[in-house]
Structure 1
Amino acid sequence: MVMTNFLQKRKSVRDFKNKEIARDSIEAIKNYIEEIEKETETVSFKFYENGSIIYNGLKGKAGYSGVMIEAPSYIALMKKDEEKESCLNTGYYLEKLNTQIVNLDLDSCWITLDNVDDETKKNLFGAEGTKVDYVVAFGYGVGKKLFTPETTSGRYTMDQIVFKDEIGNEISADELETTGLLDIFASVRFAPSHKNSQPWRFVMEDHNVVLYMEKSDEDSRSLVDMGVVMFYFEEMAKTIGRYGKWSVILEDQDKYLKVAKFSM
């Protein structure tokens, strides 16, 4: 799947069929989790094939508007600590895994556990369960799709998130076209973020893309969003032959956090 197309059509599903997930898909996801956990020490995953355990444990405590999402299976993400880089990796690797799930023709939905008490988390996820802030529900979706065109209004335009040399300096579409990044920036606007805050700002500096985050009262949540957008940018860059990786910086700069640099 072309990543730019995937992101522009990205959807989150809240209703799932009461249907077991195909065994080959289950094994593929388990193998992919093992691969991801070899890449990082800051996050780990727990796979719950029998989704009723998680659904019943979180019913009335998590979900949307107090309604827990019922799905055939769930994956819990455990974050090592609350350091900034761990928050970045939470978004990066959770969305990396989510993309693999969707590539298996499954549907998925992130669920935050903000209002779930520590005792419930320990009962469900073990002694280290207090470090679980997110679970992914997945299966074969039915019903209304989210992130459809009518629900993606309010997205920033490119001139609001992409700049030259410093935030606030305009960069032309022609210049972005020359670098091959025009389509990437046009698509990355559709990356999901908490409350649609879209905290990311990109600055073109010579042959580098520097990523900034707009600070807020929810910086930890925004850092997770930044990890998501970093993943999508890397994947889309591969489609134009740029196989770089973000170099993490995490440097405070007044209203912004200088997060990372991508060398072109």
Structure 2
Amino acid sequence: MLMTNFLQKRKSVRDFKNDNVPRDVLENIKLLIQEIDSEDGVGLSLYENGKIVYEGLKGKAGYSGVMIEAPHYISLDIKDNSPLNILTGGYLLEKLNTKIVDLNLDTCWITVDQVDHDTKKSIFGENGVGIDFLIALGYGQKKKFFDPEVSSSRLPVDEIVFQDTLGNPISMETLENYGIFDVFSSARYAPSHMNLQPWRFVLNGSKIDAYMVKSEDDNRSFVDMGVILFYIEEMLKSIGTEKKWTIDLKDAGKHYYIGEISL
């Protein structure tokens, strides 16, 4: 499936069956983790006994205080909580997430950054205090795509993409001429905390600059930026652009400048 189509149909499942994922599939996921987990400041781990994770976090994490119960979880351990590591963590965990979905499994992101250190240690071990995000995985009770109401709440393309400088309007014709209108139209469906969509992009000649809106919760936004950078890279491949983001984090007033990618 093209990544543009994947994003538009992307779903997050919160109700999982009790069925364990078959052993061979779990072993495949472990191999995927080994392939992806190549950054010093970030660690990914599979917790096969989901009951331990669920019981430990029940009442302390989840959605509106309700923990997501799943047969298995994957943790994201960010070593020193630096913006670059947080950004990288979001990129790698969503990259892994898409590969897990390709195995016909369902997933759901869970934020655990408000959970106390003692609880994390009791669940994940002495070195688990840096785990702020999880992916629950298994087989969903039912599959549900984004409904029109959720989709319509997302920012339009002309509020996330600009020309030359932030705030300068860009025409849809210009995006079409560069062959990237579908990329940014689909990017609106990428997940973000509270659906804040903190990303902003500037088409600057033959490159795209990425920015992040500052907020009271920058750490979660940096994770969201890692997610969207992954998807932009993947979607650009569909138009023949096999490029990677060059990251150059710096302050830019009401935004953080994240980096650039060539077209």
Q: TM-score, normalised by structure 1?
A: 0.96
- Mapped to 1, the partners of 2:150 and 2:178 lie a distance apart of 31
| CA-CA distance at 1:151 after TM superposition | 2.2
Query: Quick one: which amino acid aligns to residue 98 of structure 1?
Result: N
| CA-CA distance at 1:144 after TM superposition | 6.7
Structure 1's 143 and 235: CA in aligned 2 closer, same or farther, altered over 3 A? same
- Mapped to 1, the partners of 2:51 and 2:144 lie a distance apart of 23
Q: String of CA shifts for 1:198-254, please: whole Å, max 9, x gaps.
A: 111110111000001111111111111111100000011111110100000112111
Q: String of CA shifts for 1:57-116, please: whole Å, max 9, x gaps.
A: 111211112211111111111001111101101211111111111111100011111332
2:59 is the alignment partner of 1:65? no
1:9–1:148 contact (8 Å) kept in structure 2: no
| CA-CA distance at 1:146 after TM superposition | 6.3
Task: State the secondary structure of the residue aligned to 1:152.
Answer: helix
Aligned residues: 263
| Aligned residue number for residue 35 of structure 1 | 35
- Mapped to 2, the partners of 1:179 and 1:135 lie a distance apart of 36
How do residues 1-264 of structure 1 correspond to structure 2 at under 5 angstroms? Answer: 1-38=1-38, 40-143=39-142, 145=144, 147-264=146-263
- Mapped to 1, the partners of 2:191 and 2:243 lie a distance apart of 22
How large is the Cα RMSD of the aligned pairs? 1.3
- Mapped to 2, the partners of 1:57 and 1:243 lie a distance apart of 42
Identical columns (%):
55
1:184–1:233 contact (8 Å) kept in structure 2: yes
1:121–1:130 contact (8 Å) kept in structure 2: yes
1:11–1:148 contact (8 Å) kept in structure 2: no
- Mapped to 2, the partners of 1:123 and 1:153 lie a distance apart of 41
Task: State the secondary structure of the residue aligned to 2:155.
Answer: coil
Q: String of CA shifts for 1:35-77, please: whole Å, max 9, x gaps.
A: 1112x11211121112111111111211112211111111111
Task: State the secondary structure of the residue aligned to 1:13.
Answer: coil
Unaligned runs of 5+ in 1: none
1:13–1:146 contact (8 Å) kept in structure 2: no
- Mapped to 2, the partners of 1:37 and 1:144 lie a distance apart of 29
Query: Quick one: which amino acid aligns to residue 20 of structure 2?
Result: E
- Mapped to 1, the partners of 2:145 and 2:5 lie a distance apart of 16
Task: State the secondary structure of the residue aligned to 2:37.
Answer: helix
